[in-house]
Amino acid sequence: MKIHLKVWRQAGPTAHGQFVNYTAENVSPHMSFLEMLDVVNEGLIRKGQEAIAFDSDCREGICGTCGFMVSGIPHGPEPHTTVCQLHMRKFKDGDALTLEPWRSKGFPVLRDLIVDRSAFDRIIQAGGYTSVNTGGAQDANAILIGRDTAEAAMDSAACIGCGACVAACKNASAALFTSAKITHLSLLPQGQVERGTRVLNMVERMDMEGFGSCSNEGECEAVCPKGISLRNIATMNREYWKAILSS
């Protein structure tokens, strides 16, 4: 197959960016999307040109490192799939695709398709944990947790922090990411002690980082590679008001 690419090139955080056209030749349907880009890059490098900067690590859809817009959709057209897990068999010969970085105030572009997502770390720093030091934990089976509760917590905990939710949202809201962690911990007995302060601090931090507010568009859920549900945001809002009222 032949794939036509229009790729955002930007040399650095403050540099002026622009789209550049490339053609990926001899694309095999077995390749992943990133392997297709690897091959394009190999061609550029051999010509002495700088490769298109994109990031990836696990290439299995779990680390959350990869991610950019493929023709306007974070991670591309395949539902519940990170771009590293997207395979070229989903495309056809002659397709024209536009590749762009996540666009959000909270995620400044570092180079080409790579953005700075450190804001997510800072949201977790604001309270996305249980305050227990190493050592001295009670026996694990002393805390009984119903299977359904554990499964529901796991549904929220499955977030990979890739940032697709922010990129999809017209407000560039980080509500899905933030609410997933709040929900995970608020469902479990271990998360109860700090339940109120956690939600207040994390929401405050999220706003400080320049992310927009959630207006329930649902785009985030639609593009989330891990299928994190919008219900997390409803939980976060409930937790937030409960905490406000009781503080």
Partner 1 sequence: MTLDSKVPSGPLAEKWDSHKFASKLVNPANRRKHTVIIVGTGLAGASAASSLGELGYNVLSFCIQDSPRRAHSIAAQGGINAAKNYQNDGDSIYRLFYDTIKGGDYRAREANVYRLAQVSVNIIDQCVAQGVPFAREYGGQLDNRSFGGAQVSRTFYARGQTGQQLLLGAYQSMQRQVARGQVKQFPNREMLDLVLINGQARGIIVRNLVTGQLERYVADAVCLATGGYGTAYYLSTNAVGSNVTASWRAHKRGALFANPCFTQIHPTCIPVSGEDQSKLTLMSESLRNDGRVWVPKNTGDKRRAADIPESERDYYLERKYPSFGNLVPRDVASRNAKQVCDEGRGVGETGLAVYLDFKDAIQRLGHDVVAARYGNLFEMYEKITGEDPYTVPMRMYPAIHYAMGGLWVDYNLMSNVPGLHVLGEANFSDHGANRLGASALMQGLADGYFVIPYTLAHYIAGTKVEKVTTDHDAFKEAENSVQDRINKVLAVKGTKTPRELHRQLGRLLWDDVGMARNEAGLKKALATIPKLREEFWQNVAVPGDANNLNKNLEYAGRVADYLEFAELLALDALTRTESCGGHFREESQTPEGEAQRDDAHFSHVSAWEFQGVGKTPTLHKEPLVFEEVHPSQRSYK
Using rule CB under 6 A, residue 32 touches ligand FES:
no
Tell me how far the alpha carbon of residue 6 is from its chain's centroid.
22
Interaction of residue 84 with ligand FES, rule CB under 6 A: yes
45 binds, among ligand FES, partner 1, none (CB under 5 to 8 A by kind): partner 1
Looking at the Cβ atoms of 165 and 202, the one nearer to ligand FES is 165
64 counts as binding ligand FES under rule CB under 6 A = yes
63 binds ligand FES (CB under 6 A): yes
* 3 in Cβ contact with 29 (< 8 Å): no
Q: Which is nearer to ligand FES, 7 or 86 (CB)?
A: 86
CB of 68 or CB of 127, closer to ligand FES: 68
Contacted entry of partner 1, ligand FES, none for residue 38, CB cut-off 5 to 8 Å set by kind:
partner 1
Does the protein bind ligand FES through residue 57 (CB under 6 A)? yes
Kindly tell me which residue out of 8, 24, 52, 61 binds ligand FES, with binding defined by CB under 6 A. 61
Q: Is 6 in the site for ligand FES (CB under 6 A)?
A: no
Give the CA distances from residue 75 to residues 36, 72, 153, in Å, rounded to whole numbers and listed in that order: 14, 9, 25
Residue count, binding to ligand FES (CB under 6 A): 12
CB-nearer residue toward ligand FES: 62 or 124: 62
40 token code pair = 């394009």
Does 212 interact with ligand FES (rule: CB under 6 A)? no
86 and 78 Cβ atoms separated by less than 8 Å: yes
Q: Which residues bind ligand FES (CB under 6 A)?
A: 56-59, 61-66, 82, 84
